[in-house]
Structure 1
Amino acid sequence: MATNREIAQEVIEAIGGQENIQSVAHCATRLRIMVHDKEKIDQERVEGVEKVKGAFYNSGQYQVIFGTGTVNRIYDEVTALGATGSTKADQKEESAKQGNAFQRAVRSFGDVFVPIIPALVATGLFMGLRGLVLQEQILAFFGLTPGDISDNFILFTQVLTDTAFIFLPALVAWSTFRVFGGNPTIGLVLGLMLVTPALPNAWEVAAGNAEPLKFLGFIPVVGYQGSVIPAFVAGFLGAKLEKRIRKMVPESLDLILTPFLVLLIMITLSLFAIGPIFHTVEEYIMAGTIYILDLPFGLSGLIIGFFHQIIVITGVHHIFNFLEIQLFENLGFNPFNPIISAAIAAQGGAALAVGLKTKSKKLKALALPSSLSAFLGITEPAIFGVNLRYMKPFVMGLIGGAVGGFLASLFKLKATGLAVTVIPGTLLFLNSQIFLYLLVNIISIGIAFGLTWAFGYKDGMLDK
């Protein structure tokens, strides 16, 4: 077995040597390499390196999949061998002009939401645990009824489950400023202004328990608790405005004038223009999403379950983070999560079939861990390392995902959170739907596994 230093050296040589490396960084699963000339990359040689689960060129970066944990060690060895390390933020700037306008926009959107996701995952898990603890059957097991639960305990659970969504605009504005080069603290304060208690609470207004403020007799002004697009637009424009103002004011006055002008201008625009306009846009997007999810006879699950992993390949799937957040904030549950969970599980089932059927020790060592990764919610190793390489397993995974998505939609499964799927996703269904959720994922895996075993893979494909 090769050492991590030897693997790093092989990767460097396969992509054209040190002289072809502009910079290198890594994320949770991939080594991300900026190269001077992608024509010098020996794709077949890279994929043949031990521990490599797949490699592809995307968004201006050559991305080599190693998986969680391993990628950190390989990165350390690559930089120790002389490659220039850089942060992901630096690489984002270097690759900012790569891809078409839509890809760049979605990539920026993803960059904003990815840092927020962990807080929302925790919130969803808190909701699932609260739902479990407060179930009548669970309480009865301990000789309790819902009436025995104290108001203070309910209040404590609300602190855990409501805080992130109440201050979601602050998180979004902070992250948007960070991504587009502004001062994140100014973005945070701007976002907090959008949810200040001085404004009528958006949820109270929606429930009819409060009235919007009226400026100039016709502009409705409310808080923006739970809103995403107004905070994103305000953050984007605010970051651009901040950079423009910094160039105009004298350095001696920068500390005083820049934050003052940015906050004054942006909160005025946000409350009187950006907020009302883009909150309406947000409502239309939400209505369209719900319309698709409400298609009869499980059609929505069939369509989403089939196409979700195809969209993952394109790299623009981060747009779904926004949709899941909006669904969860508006409905109080997430019907999208169980559908994509089935799609993810199916790719794991297809990779598992390849791993168990092949006689190739190298492919077996690649496919089996990749299938486990998919069952934990990360499909890139399974897709790029196994299924897409032989194509048929990927298609069989799509079919399994479509069937699982169809059932998830038909059963009307509702997750209590977002961003975790398959095995970890069970924590979002700690209610009466847990068995249906498990059934849907098992069927998705079973169909993808069976089709791949019967029609989707044979060792003769290795020769092609």
Structure 2
Amino acid sequence: MAKETDYKAVAQQIIEVVGGPENIISVAHCATRLRLIVKNREIIDDKQVEAIDIVKGCFFTAGQYQIILGTGIVNKVYDEVMKLGIEGSSKNEQAAAAAKRGNKLQQLIRVFADVFVPIIPVMVATGLFMGLRGFLTQDALLAFFGTSADAIPKQFLEFTQILTDTAFSFLPVLVCWSAFKKFGGSPVLGIVIGLMLVSSILPTSWDVAQGNAKPLIFFGFIKVNGYQSSVLPAFIVGFLGSKIEQWLHDHVINALDLIVTPFVTVLVSLCLGLFIVGPIFHSVEVGLVSIVSSLFSLPFGIGGFIWGALCQVIVVTGVHHELNLVEIEMLAKTKWNPVNPVGSCGIVAQAGAAMAVAVRTKSTKMKSLGYPSAISALLGITEPAVFGVNLRLVQPFVCACIGGGVGGWIAALLGLKGTGMSITGIPGMLLYLNKQMPLYILVNVIAFAVAFVLTYFFGMKQDVAEAE
């Protein structure tokens, strides 16, 4: 029987080896990594960190010391770290100090990650609902059971539409809530302002785009409509609204604070959102989607090769979660995600390279790392394979990037598009239940095979013992 992990003990070890509570400014986490803002990175011994039992790797990037623990595990370790507390600074002081760490680009990257990562589970669930709905309403499947789409009860279709459309319809609410929470405002005000941005009184952005409704005209020249499925306007409004609220808390007398602060915050934020921020940044996000769409529209699948080859290089930098903005935008605007199948090829290719290392190496330690990390990558989590095996030996990582490029190239040629985001590899098949699954499996098998073969025959020139 496997010994149960003592997450409290792991949390204590991590705090100790990174220099103690006095060296930690703030703690956050994403799907797989514990992200620390530290005062002095130089006093941290990476080997001691990696020696902790469940740690799969560590690195410093974007102003953060990131410890790879794995999905599910990182949440439990984070909870224990927070229970232990961080002495020497208040929460506000920690946030202020953390915000100043790194250059301006690194700070912006952290901000986007902190705002968008909390809403990813909603996007994952919605994508799965969309895939399942598409699968259950396929003509071939219905014919197999001797029925057709006309026989599906209207109530069932409406129920499934609630599951698939709600998150995208109220996306500004999620983003505005998360932004208020990140920037120190009252999350409930973020929720209310987000709801106002998608109020039923406003013509929807979809109806206006399709010519089925006309926007409202304010001041004779400002066109206003709802911002369903928009991300950037809600993000900017959430930032500005939280700052307005904080300023009011500091300048309004205590007796009137409860009345004046929320009233002014909501009023000013909504005016900014509808009349200034919305019209400007809605155009910006449309441009972002167009740029990425253009990449995947390049002839001969070139865009797919580029993205498939480089996506795991971006993971190494630790800024890959910030690209969720583009995927969320594409799903909200088009209901499709061409980035997902290409990115999945890049992920599965890392599994192929790690598997090849495990098969060929004579190192017992590397085998013990290679096989589990390959399985982890097949399930969509590449950090153990990348940092524990492939990048350590260098050549396997390069071979995996080539494999990801080849798989991404074929995926782009075939026009594969997912119905959701953030799940890849084997679990990602759930996003391709609408007749695309055989092609999705094909491109991932190709990516795995290319990376495996290249690594096995050309990527193991370096002595594994030396790498260790």
Tell me if TM exceeds 0.5: yes
The residue type paired with residue 156 of structure 2 is: F
1:10 and 1:242, CA in 2 relative to 1: closer, same or farther beyond 3 A? closer
Which residue in the other structure is 2:261 paired with?
A: 258
User: How much does 1:384 deviate?
Assistant: 1.4
Which residue in the other structure is 2:307 paired with?
A: 304
Contact 1:61 1:95 in 2 (8 A): no
Within 5 A, what are the aligned runs for 1:162-201? 162-201=165-204
Is 2:412 the partner of 1:406?
Answer: no
Contact 1:25 1:85 in 2 (8 A): no
Which residue in the other structure is 2:433 paired with?
A: 430
Pick the aligned partner of 1:326 from 300, 305, 329: 329
Deviations 1:273-310 (A, max 9, x none): 11111112222222222111211100110111111111
The residue type paired with residue 372 of structure 1 is: I
Residues in 1 aligned to 2:23 and 2:221: alpha-carbon distance in whole angstroms: 60
Which residue in the other structure is 1:160 paired with?
A: 163
SS of aligned partner of 1:230:
helix
The residue type paired with residue 128 of structure 2 is: L
SS of aligned partner of 1:318:
helix
Within 5 A, what are the aligned runs for 1:10-409? 15=18, 28-33=31-36, 35-71=38-74, 93-409=96-412
1:251 and 1:130, CA in 2 relative to 1: closer, same or farther beyond 3 A? same
1:268 and 1:62, CA in 2 relative to 1: closer, same or farther beyond 3 A? closer
User: How much does 1:81 deviate?
Assistant: 9.5
1:22 and 1:232, CA in 2 relative to 1: closer, same or farther beyond 3 A? closer
Residues in 1 aligned to 2:86 and 2:362: alpha-carbon distance in whole angstroms: 36
1:80 and 1:95, CA in 2 relative to 1: closer, same or farther beyond 3 A? closer
Residues in 2 aligned to 1:284 and 1:51: alpha-carbon distance in whole angstroms: 42
Name which of structure 1's ranges 93-102 and 209-218 shifts more when overlaid on structure 2. Answer: 93-102
Contact 1:24 1:84 in 2 (8 A): no
SS of aligned partner of 2:463:
helix
Residues in 2 aligned to 1:267 and 1:83: alpha-carbon distance in whole angstroms: 37
SS of aligned partner of 1:310:
helix
User: How much does 1:159 deviate?
Assistant: 0.6
User: How much does 1:362 deviate?
Assistant: 2.1
1:122 and 1:350, CA in 2 relative to 1: closer, same or farther beyond 3 A? same
Deviations 1:294-342 (A, max 9, x none): 1110011011111111111112222321111111122221111101010
User: How much does 1:152 deviate?
Assistant: 1.4
SS of aligned partner of 1:457:
coil
Which residue in the other structure is 2:459 paired with?
A: 456
Residues in 1 aligned to 2:332 and 2:244: alpha-carbon distance in whole angstroms: 29
Percent identical across equivalent pairs?
54
Residues in 1 aligned to 2:114 and 2:335: alpha-carbon distance in whole angstroms: 25
1:262 and 1:166, CA in 2 relative to 1: closer, same or farther beyond 3 A? same
Segments of 5+ residues of structure 2 without an aligned counterpart are none
Residues in 1 aligned to 2:351 and 2:88: alpha-carbon distance in whole angstroms: 32
Deviations 1:24-80 (A, max 9, x none): 666543344555533233333443454432121234443332324555676688899
Deviations 1:413-438 (A, max 9, x none): 01111111111110000021100100
User: How much does 1:358 deviate?
Assistant: 2.1
1:35 and 1:290, CA in 2 relative to 1: closer, same or farther beyond 3 A? closer
1:148 and 1:88, CA in 2 relative to 1: closer, same or farther beyond 3 A? farther
Contact 2:62 2:317 in 1 (8 A): no
RMSD: 2.8
User: How much does 1:409 deviate?
Assistant: 0.2
The residue type paired with residue 390 of structure 1 is: L
Segments of 5+ residues of structure 1 without an aligned counterpart are none
So what's the TM-score if we normalise by structure 2?
0.91
Contact 1:190 1:263 in 2 (8 A): yes
**Count of aligned pairs between the two proteins:** 464
User: How much does 1:170 deviate?
Assistant: 0.9
Deviations 1:372-396 (A, max 9, x none): 2211111112111211111111111
Residues in 2 aligned to 1:82 and 1:266: alpha-carbon distance in whole angstroms: 34
User: How much does 1:361 deviate?
Assistant: 2.2
Contact 1:355 1:368 in 2 (8 A): yes
User: How much does 1:350 deviate?
Assistant: 1.1
So what's the TM-score if we normalise by structure 1?
0.92
Deviations 1:226-254 (A, max 9, x none): 11111111111111111111111011211
Contact 1:52 1:66 in 2 (8 A): yes
